Amino acid sequence: MLKKRELIGQENHILFELMVHPEVFPFVRHKAYSHDEFLFLTKKTIEAEEQGKLISRTIIDEWSNPIGTINLYDIENGAGFLGTWIGKAYHGKGYNKLAKEVFFNEVFYELGIETIFMRIRKENIRSIKAAEKLPYTIKANESRKSIFEQINAKNYIYDLYEISKDLYSLYIMRQQSIQDETQALEA
Give CA separation, 120 vs 25, 31, 80, 110, 127, in Å.
14, 16, 14, 26, 7
**Considering the entire predicted model, what is its pTM?**
0.89
pLDDT digits (tens), the chain, 187 positions? 999 999 887 999 999 999 999 999 998 999 999 999 999 999 999 999 999 999 999 999 999 999 999 999 999 999 999 999 999 999 999 998 899 999 999 999 999 999 999 999 998 888 898 889 889 999 999 999 999 999 999 999 999 999 999 999 999 999 888 877 777 777 6
Q: Which residues contact 104 (CB under 8 A, 6 or more apart)?
A: 116, 163, 168
